[in-house]
Amino acid sequence: MAKIIDGKAYAEGLRGRMAKTVAGLKSKHGLTPGLAVVLVGEDPASKVYVANKAKQTVEVGMNSWEHKLDAATPEATLLALVEKLNTDPACHGILVQLPLPKHIDSDKVLSAINPDKDVDGFHVVNVGRLSTGQESLVPCTPVGSVMLAKDALGSLAGLEAVVIGRSNIVGKPVAQLLLAENCTVTIAHSKTKDLPAVVRRADLVIAAVGRAEMVKGDWLKPGACVIDVGINRIERDGKGKLVGDCDFASCEKVAGSITPVPGGVGPMTIACLLRNTVRAACAQKGIAIPEL
Ligand code: NDP
């Protein structure tokens, strides 16, 4: 049976290390990293995410600002707020919660964020920096996924890695990070032929598909490490349940290690957002970026 990779415990440890780093930045450099989160509208899931982000930001000792705007807010008003935050020296990280209402052009808003404050790592400048191997702010879920893989496997150098999914938010940045770790990387997607055969080559599988329990145990190479990014809500036995993109029951019998859903990659995302904020604050102040 596979070793279960405990993302909740790893994220707790990371937040603990971050709290110490933040205390050190305050005492040695008078620097308190600050994160501004902008929420437009009343999307219930987004409201929960934003509240969790704010709570955890404060818990590690950083400044947190929540800007809640009405769903009918004009695009120009949102852009003006982003510009104000871009020039606010106390604010080191800016996150505009997606999805935005339909009348707002998300690409335009994300492009307006100063890349050095872009703690979501979605700005094209950060995408370019990542793909050319420069210091950059990297999307949070991919960073968290690779941290968990390294925790389970140690060095990833030379491993065959298969990433299922090619979104800008998860699949592509995770593939870039694995390449930087010297994996041999295959990116699979909806047009991939014979996906089970492709997955069977992998020492490391990262599933970011959005299809409940799609990857089966008999697709895996015995002993493979499985990082399941998927979060899918299904009905089972008359109850709502969260499941990943991997069929946990069959995969855990074949894999060497596997992340559960919930409790795997999920908790890493906010922890990595806070990590990006600390890194952004240090870079903006010319302080050496802590390892974390
Ligand atoms: P997207 O819908 O943007 O991308 C899904 C990808 O999966 C696409 O590249 C698509 O291929 C591919 N795909 C779809 N169906 C198949 C199939 N049958 N076989 C192979 N590939 C397929 O999703 P995201 O990347 O945004 O999210 C993926 C999952 O991760 C979701 O479950 C999401 O909820 C979860 N997630 C979790 C986060 C967290 O833990 N905090 C954060 C972000 C996402 P194609 O490009 O060809 O269409």
Q: Is 142 in the pocket of ligand 1 (CB under 6 A)?
A: no
CA of 163 to the centre of ligand 1 (A): 10
In the block, which residue shows the tokens 């996924």?
A: 145
Does the annotation count 176 as an active-site position?
no
One pLDDT digit (tens) per residue for the chain, 292 residues: 999 999 999 999 999 999 999 999 999 999 999 999 999 999 999 999 999 999 999 999 999 999 999 999 999 999 999 999 999 999 999 999 999 999 999 999 999 999 999 999 999 999 999 999 999 999 999 999 999 999 999 999 999 999 999 999 999 999 999 999 999 999 999 999 999 999 999 999 999 999 999 999 999 999 999 999 999 999 999 999 999 999 999 999 999 999 999 999 999 999 999 999 999 999 999 999 998 8
Q: pTM of this prediction? A: 0.97
Residues of the chain with CATH 3.40.50.10860: 29-114
Closest CA to 96 of 128, 116, 120: 120
Nearest ligand 1 atom to alpha carbon 214:
18
Q: Which residue in 116, 118, 120, 247 is the catalytic one?
A: 120
Q: Is 195 in the pocket of ligand 1 (CB under 6 A)?
A: yes
Does the annotation count 194 as an active-site position?
no
Does the annotation count 151 as an active-site position?
no
- CATH class (in words) of the domain with range 29-114: alpha beta
Mutate to test the pocket of ligand 1, among 167, 194, 219, 245 (most ligand atoms within 8 A of CB): 167
Contact call for residues 215 and 207 (beta carbons, < 8 A): yes
DSSP state of 118: B
As to burial, measured by CB atoms within 10 angstroms (0-12 exposed, 13-18 middle, 19+ buried), residue 87 is exposed
Q: Which pair of structure tokens corresponds to residue 80? A: 């003006």
* Pairing relationship of beta strands 184-188 and 204-207 according to DSSP bridges: unpaired
Contact call for residues 163 and 171 (beta carbons, < 8 A): yes
Which strand (E) or helix (H) includes residue 77? helix 75-86
Closest CA to 291 of 18, 15, 80: 18
Q: Provide the 10 A C-beta neighbour count for residue 237.
A: 5
Q: Is 63 in the pocket of ligand 1 (CB under 6 A)?
A: no
| Architecture label for domain 140-266 | 3-Layer(aba) Sandwich (3.40)
Residues of the chain with CATH 3.40.50.720: 140-266
The predicted structure's pLDDT at residue 292: 87
Q: Which pair of structure tokens corresponds to residue 66? A: 């929540």
